[in-house]
Structure 1
């Protein structure tokens, strides 16, 4: 009899436990951990103010104890924040959002500068941002060498390109630089770091033809709010384009674009 009463009590507590208050067989309820994290973030994103853990659990259709655990982890990683009134979005999401808009803002600010430099030199001019061990093209204007690609989104290795070296020379993240040069032999790695030091002093990088035979490229870093955000490059025939002529033009265009980026 005692065991029957205990079982009945257990069943009763289960029926009122918030963990089991979700509808059974809810096909739309998130199942994987990642789905639940996204569901929680989406609920908080929709709110105009702080929301309680219980409110998030109900809206996201995630068990309350699971919601509380995931929220604690998200707060620790600064994706969410908690105050006396409840849970809100954390600063890390705002930081990610700001970073995500950088390529679009750079491309928009670069358009007139790229066009002017291309008109003055007749060579291909492009703007690049770093992604992994590559530089990715945001925008480019063709020059007199038709074989040089201008497609947005194309990739070039940061290790050998002028744009890559211009970016890496001013990159504060040592892990990015080390990852790019990870496969170099010790002597080559030392020369690579020496070259970056030279680039940093000159605010200008060159590619004498490592990426494209017979093509000279000159690039400078693009700075945004105190850190490097990309590179501006110019490329043309090595036997006809004089570095001493185009280098000041590239550097001046980079300064102009950096000022434009500071205003957006």
Structure 2
């Protein structure tokens, strides 16, 4: 038997003996809802042969447990309902909490954290003094994305065709200053990109209120955004805008540490990040397919 044959035989013996264990190794490699991995990173973490990992990844993508983008593989819509992902955006809120507190203490303005859901923003957090009670925004509340600085900050990183789809060809005005034309909205989103992601609005969502916002971005675009809001007549947004941009970047680094600096991907240990109950639910729906 040649050396090559011996190596191939050893590699075969080291493979997990069952399909269930191979799928488990791959799903455990995605330790956070924001984790994005290339095929090479998956093979390094799982120690599976490249061809085996590639086939299983493709099958997981087909059934929406994973997504495949130009940046690599990430948890898909079905997986995000399992493994402790309850849809509450807890990880984003936890990462942003100290930044939101610091922004409020330094500026005294109302601070918002929101995510984009279709054509609306969904507020995850809100801090502020007396002015906060005057604003209609609330945790769990929603507003048309194109009428707010925080919404436009996220829309700026969405494909233009997708923006058109989300709007349905019609933009609802909340005030006389709201953007009501798609062409105008696309021009505004272009300006936001040229400003390194800073978005402004004055009286477009609430009369007399001005805001500045910046998106929290990962490898696949904006995952959330932060804004500062105050009374339009006495708030100098240009002075606090750098604080918002720095804050958004800080949260991005916390959520996506792999973007901060290149690092060698460590080989995964046997520790599992999913609870036994969540893995049982996942496997109950996964084992019906044809797996390698």
1:91 Cα deviation from its structure 2 partner = 3.3
Give the match for residue 207 of structure 1.
201
1:150 Cα deviation from its structure 2 partner = 5.5
Q: Deviations over 1:116-140 (max 9, x none)?
A: 0011000111111011210001111
Give the match for residue 251 of structure 1.
245
* Equivalent runs, 1:227-242 vs 2, <5 Å: 227-242=221-236
Q: Distance between the aligned counterparts of 1:76 and 1:143, measured in 2?
A: 47
Q: Distance between the aligned counterparts of 1:120 and 1:103, measured in 2?
A: 25
Pick from 140, 148, 151: which aligns with 1:153? Answer: 140
* Equivalent runs, 1:189-208 vs 2, <5 Å: 189-202=182-195, 203-208=197-202
RMSD: 3.1
Q: Deviations over 1:147-194 (max 9, x none)?
A: 124532110110110011000001247324432262149x92211110
Structure 2: segments with no counterpart, 5+ residues: 1-18, 24-58, 68-73, 173-179, 259-292
Give the match for residue 8 of structure 1.
none
Runs of 4 or more above 6 Å deviation: none
Q: Deviations over 1:22-57 (max 9, x none)?
A: xxxxxxxxxxxxxxxxxxxxxxxxx94589xxxxxx
Q: Deviations over 1:76-99 (max 9, x none)?
A: 97228xxxxxxxxx5359422358
Structure 1: segments with no counterpart, 5+ residues: 1-46, 52-74, 81-89
Q: Distance between the aligned counterparts of 2:163 and 2:142, measured in 1?
A: 16
- Point out the structure with the larger helix share: 1
Structure possessing the higher relative contact order (Cα contacts under 8 Å, 6 or more residues apart): 2
Q: Distance between the aligned counterparts of 2:80 and 2:194, measured in 1?
A: 29
Q: Distance between the aligned counterparts of 1:138 and 1:210, measured in 2?
A: 21
The answer to whether 1:162 aligns with 2:155 is: no
Give the structure-1-normalised TM-score. Answer: 0.62
Q: Distance between the aligned counterparts of 2:108 and 2:138, measured in 1?
A: 18
SS of the aligned residue for 1:163 comes to helix
SS of the aligned residue for 1:223 comes to strand
* Equivalent runs, 1:39-50 vs 2, <5 Å: 48-49=20-21
Alignment: residue pair count: 186
SS of the aligned residue for 2:170 comes to coil
Give the structure-2-normalised TM-score. Answer: 0.56
